[in-house]
Chains A and B, each alone.
Chain A
Amino acid sequence: MPENEYQRLTRARSRTTFISRSSLWLGKDHLLCVDSSGYTETYKRFYFRDIQAVILMASKRRAIWNWVLGPLTAILLVLLLGSLPYTGSTGPNSNLGEIVFFAFLGFVFAVPLLINNLLGPSCVCHLRTAVQTEELSSLNRLRRARKLLNRIRPLIAAAQGELSPGEIPARLRAAVGSADGTTMTPAVSAAPPPDANHPDAPPVIT
């Protein structure tokens, strides 16, 4: 694929380590997850034909931030109101410094609080393929994750076909029933490595 054929899906957001930032891009036939440390980038490609499931799980991230930022904003608001001059007072306003200080600090905490609630409920998004389940850390809000899901659903359907809701239970039962006989997903083998001289031995790269 020629370069610069990716469309941005999500902005870069910190992973749990806070060292790298993750963003999601849409390619012609795959999703590209870019983890950037600022000086290096690591790429993970999820081809539409290989995506098995997308799992959204509600998280307590928004509530936690509300519990951190809410009381602080409330305390600063009370202090700000307390430092305001009485109504009808005619003397010089000696609390101006305090008012500016509390108003500034209140603003610092109130804006993130507002943004946290405007972004909507938080979630954790996992994407599953046959070989891995990857957490997409840039999708941490339910609304944004659903928007992305609605965007990639037709692309996945074009690559894999549709799956009607009534079809899932039957397919699941059939798959679980046949799981003992045939391999549905690559199974990890505990067999010893084959002999190099055996006809079925894999090629040796020199």
Chain B
Amino acid sequence: MSAPLIQCPACQAWLLEGVFNQPQLSPCPACGVPLQVEVFPALFRRINPGQSGEIIMVDGESSCFYHPQKRAVLPCQGCGRFLCALCDCELNGQHFCPACLETGKTKGKIKSLENRRTLYDSIALSLAVYPLLIFYFTLVTAPVALFVAIRYWNAPRSIIRRTRIRYIVAIVLASMQIAGWGFLFVALATHRF
């Protein structure tokens, strides 16, 4: 794709300018499907080609950590290493080296790169609630639910609003199930059942 053209989602035909930024639905010139296309200035923004970095011409100049023969233009804001224009990765106004960018994504250090989270509170709650349908399973699942709730109490929850209520309900339910099983075993052991 070399031009800022937009395709019809239904027939993949290139849309004409008459369809853009209309207040109501307009038919696609090719297939007639009603469309409303709102375009913004970013569609026409020119993307500059990446820089390869300048070669060091004078001795004593700071060089890139990854390319010793190239002039450093700025330090990485993650590790402080000097970077050339080629190694400089800009993210929301911050500059990182590729290694820090990779580490930030895999370890969740850069929030805006985090794209996945596990919801341990939902797992704990499911382990505490669903096995109640077949009560015998709770002998195994209740301790597991309690372990998950306590182990991951401080783990990052959903990125959107979410309280610890699922953990609390899971702990209460799992504790009651464990107490119930404990009472049953004690009663059986002492022949008072």
Binding site for B on A (CB under 8 A): 1, 3-4, 6, 8, 23, 25, 32, 34, 36, 38-45, 49-58, 124, 126, 128-130, 142, 146, 149, 153, 156-157, 160-163, 165, 168-169, 171-172, 174-176, 179-180, 182-187, 199-200, 202-206
B60 on the A face (CB < 8 A): no
Q: Are B38 and A175 in contact (CB under 8 A)?
A: no
Q: What distance in Å separates the Cβ of B102 from its nearest Cβ neighbour in chain A?
A: 6
Q: What distance in Å separates the Cβ of B113 from its nearest Cβ neighbour in chain A?
A: 9
What is the bound-complex CA distance between A73 and B49, given in angstroms? 60
Nearest 4 Cβ contacts at the A-B interface: A203-B66, A179-B3, A58-B34, A52-B43
Q: Are B4 and A43 in contact (CB under 8 A)?
A: no
Q: Are B98 and A202 in contact (CB under 8 A)?
A: yes
Q: Mark B2-45, 1 if CB is under 8 A from A, else 0.
A: 11111011100000010011000100000001111111111110
Q: Are B161 and A6 in contact (CB under 8 A)?
A: yes
What is the bound-complex CA distance between A188 and B119, given in angstroms? 36
B90 on the A face (CB < 8 A): no
- Tell which of B36, B67, B97, B112 has the most Cβ of chain A within 10 Å: B36
- On chain A, the residues within 8 Å of B2 by CB distance are 179-180, 183-185, 187
- From the candidates B8, B55, B115, name the one contacting A42 in the complex (CB within 8 A): B115
Given contacts A38-B122, A56-B36, A203-B99, contact A160 B21 (CB under 8 A): no
- On chain B, the residues within 8 Å of A32 by CB distance are 159-160
B154 on the A face (CB < 8 A): no
- On chain A, the residues within 8 Å of B102 by CB distance are 205
Q: Are A41 and B159 in contact (CB under 8 A)?
A: yes
- From the candidates A43, A128, A142, A176, name the one contacting B159 in the complex (CB within 8 A): A43
Q: Are B97 and A42 in contact (CB under 8 A)?
A: no
- On chain A, the residues within 8 Å of B158 by CB distance are 34, 41
- From the candidates A40, A160, A175, name the one contacting B117 in the complex (CB within 8 A): A40
What is the bound-complex CA distance between A50 and B91, given in angstroms? 13
B1 on the A face (CB < 8 A): yes
Residues of chain B at interface, number, CB under 8 A: 56
Q: What distance in Å separates the Cβ of A125 from its nearest Cβ neighbour in chain B?
A: 9
Q: What distance in Å separates the Cβ of A23 from its nearest Cβ neighbour in chain B?
A: 8
What is the bound-complex CA distance between A200 and B113, given in angstroms? 26
Q: List 14 A-B contacts (CB under 8 A).
A: A6-B160, A8-B161, A25-B160, A38-B122, A39-B122, A43-B116, A55-B38, A56-B25, A57-B33, A57-B34, A160-B41, A163-B39, A168-B20, A174-B44
Given contacts A55-B36, A160-B42, contact A40 B3 (CB under 8 A): no
- On chain B, the residues within 8 Å of A185 by CB distance are 1-2, 4, 47
What is the bound-complex CA distance between A173 and B47, given in angstroms? 17
- From the candidates A8, A169, A199, name the one contacting B70 in the complex (CB within 8 A): A199
What is the bound-complex CA distance between A7 and B191, given in angstroms? 58
What is the bound-complex CA distance between A174 and B20, given in angstroms? 16
What is the bound-complex CA distance between A126 and B116, given in angstroms? 22
B86 on the A face (CB < 8 A): yes
Q: Are A202 and B40 in contact (CB under 8 A)?
A: no
Q: Which residue in chain A gives the minimum CB-CB distance to B22? A: A165
- Tell which of A42, A129, A146, A200 has the most Cβ of chain B within 10 Å: A200
- On chain B, the residues within 8 Å of A174 by CB distance are 44
Q: Are A53 and B9 in contact (CB under 8 A)?
A: no
Given contacts A39-B118, A40-B117, A57-B10, contact A183 B47 (CB under 8 A): yes
Q: What distance in Å separates the Cβ of B48 from its nearest Cβ neighbour in chain A?
A: 8
